[in-house]
Structure 1
Amino acid sequence: MAHFPVNHPARALYRVLAGVIGLYILVFGVWGVAVTWGEGLFDRGSNWALGLRTNLAFSLVSVIFGAVLIVGASRRSNLGHYMNLTAGVVFLVTGVLMMSVLQTSANFLNFSMSTVIVSLLFGLVLLATGLYDKIGPPEHAEAERRHRRATVPGGR
Structure 2
Amino acid sequence: MAHIPVNHPLRPVYRTIAGLTGLYVLIFGIAGVLATWGDPLFARDDVWVLGLRTNLAFSLSSVAYGGLILIGALIGGQAGHYANLTIAVVFMVTGLLMLGLLRTSANFLNFSMSTVIVSLLFGMVFLATGLYDKVGPVESAGSDDEQQRHPQRAGR
Superposition TM-score tier, normalisation by shorter sequence: over 0.9
The answer as to whether partners of 2:77 and 2:133 remain within 8 angstroms in 1 is no
Describe the SS at the equivalent of 2:106: coil
> Which stretches of structure 1, 4 residues or longer, exceed 2 Å deviation after superposition?
142-152
Higher deviation after alignment, 2-11 or 109-118: 2-11
Shift of the alpha carbon at 1:137?
Answer: 1.4
Partner of 2:69: 69
The answer as to whether partners of 2:22 and 2:66 remain within 8 angstroms in 1 is yes
Residues 10-89 of structure 1 correspond to what in structure 2 (within 5 A)?
Answer: 10-89=10-89
Residues 77-156 of structure 1 correspond to what in structure 2 (within 5 A)?
Answer: 77-141=77-141, 143-151=144-152
The answer as to whether partners of 2:15 and 2:76 remain within 8 angstroms in 1 is no
- 2:72 and 2:149 map into 1 onto residues whose CA distance is 27
Partner of 1:3: 3
Unaligned runs of 5+ in 1: none
Shift of the alpha carbon at 1:75?
Answer: 1.2
Residue 78 of structure 2 aligns to which amino acid in structure 1?
N
Describe the SS at the equivalent of 1:78: helix
Unaligned runs of 5+ in 2: none
Aligned length: 152
Q: Identity percentage over the alignment?
A: 61
TM-score by length of 1: 0.92
The answer as to whether partners of 1:5 and 1:144 remain within 8 angstroms in 2 is no
- Measured against aligned partners, the alpha-carbon deviations of 1:2-43 in whole angstroms (never above 9, x if no partner) come to 421110011111000100110000000000000000000000
Residue 111 of structure 2 aligns to which amino acid in structure 1?
F
The answer as to whether partners of 1:94 and 1:119 remain within 8 angstroms in 2 is yes
The answer as to whether partners of 1:14 and 1:129 remain within 8 angstroms in 2 is yes
When residues 35 and 3 of structure 1 are mapped into structure 2, their CA distance, relative to the original with a 3 A threshold, is same
When residues 150 and 124 of structure 1 are mapped into structure 2, their CA distance, relative to the original with a 3 A threshold, is farther
Describe the SS at the equivalent of 1:8: coil
Shift of the alpha carbon at 1:143?
Answer: 4.3
Describe the SS at the equivalent of 1:21: helix
TM-score by length of 2: 0.92
Residue 108 of structure 1 aligns to which amino acid in structure 2?
F
Describe the SS at the equivalent of 2:84: helix
- 1:62 and 1:147 map into 2 onto residues whose CA distance is 43
